[in-house]
Amino acid sequence: MSVLRSVVLGCGSYLPNRIVSNDELARSVDTTDEWIVQRTGIRERHVAAAGEVTSDLAIHAARAALAHAHVDADSIDLIVLGTSTPDQTFPATAVTVQAALGITGGVAFDLQAVCSGFVFALSVADAMLRSGTHKRALVIGAETFSRILDWNDRTTCVLFGDGAGAVVLEAQEQAGTSADRGILTTHLRSDGRHRAKLYVDGGVSSTQTTGHLRMEGREVFKHAVAMITDVIEDAFKATGTSAADIDWFVPHQANKRIIDGSAHKLGIAPDKVVITVDRHGNTSAASIPLALADAVADRRIKRGNLILLEAMGGGFTWGSVLLRW
């Protein structure tokens, strides 16, 4: 019996022009290029220009994804934007993107799950497409984390960057097997007991300020590899697949040591792992679509490939998506 699947039609990305190297950061905080690379794998990150806001990045990525998919903006009836750094408290940054693209129908809204934002957004869009209520979706991850960093805190300011990535999804009839194109399964988790390990110390209701990112780095690292295993094992069980079937592993780009540890624990060969953290830093909800677009642009990811996505973010939130390109 056939089923509806959310099939990826195209993807796109955008990075701000300004590149900040480790050496540049070392001139303002007590750190070194060697220290940053050894502990994180990060060599540089992009930072939004003055006046450049999250919606600007998202619009660029969305237009690139639409062009890659060869579809018109007015065919989109659903926009889900994962971000923790919206332009304003309200309205949703997604409606700014919607208006900029000239879309006047359908629905657009933001989703906040920090670094898991894109995986959560994909899951929500997938559910809405499979329900039959919508036909074609634009799913975006976009962040300007540079606006919530304490640039005097060397333990956090070296880790993050700005950017945006997007994919176009379309509901299509498929055979209902693991050989189908599109999203095969999604699995999400959260555990608020760990919220104080990675958070922003401000907010509308609490301090009436934006605040700065705060993190217990060792605690986050300790939990990161262990916590993602269950959602990935669930993805394999749901589809009758295994690590050996994966063509590409596209994890959240937070820290190369976490990525390497996760791949090793899952039994995924290093040459199947897409890594962009060295050039982008941690771009939170934007990191997975940025990595996807990078691997599609250089033709590593090809039609028919089985792709595993995973992310973990503040909260804690974590999740996986298994899809066939």
CA angle 309/246/39 to nearest 5° reads 55
* DSSP code string of 233-271: HHHHHHHT--GGG-SEEEE--S-HHHHHHHHHHHT--GG
Question: To 10 degrees, the CA torsion angle through 226, 230, 236, 239?
Answer: -150
Q: How far apart are CA 105 and CA 301, in angstroms?
A: 32
Contacts of 262 (CB under 8 A, 6+ apart): 224, 225, 228, 251, 310
Q: How far apart are CA 229 and CA 232, in angstroms?
A: 5
Alpha-helical segments (H) within 53-197 = 54-69, 93-100, 117-130, 154-157
What does DSSP say about strands 306-313 and 248-251: parallel, antiparallel, or unpaired? parallel
How many Cβ atoms sit within 10 Å of the Cβ of residue 250?
Answer: 27
Please list the active-site residues. Answer: 115, 252, 282
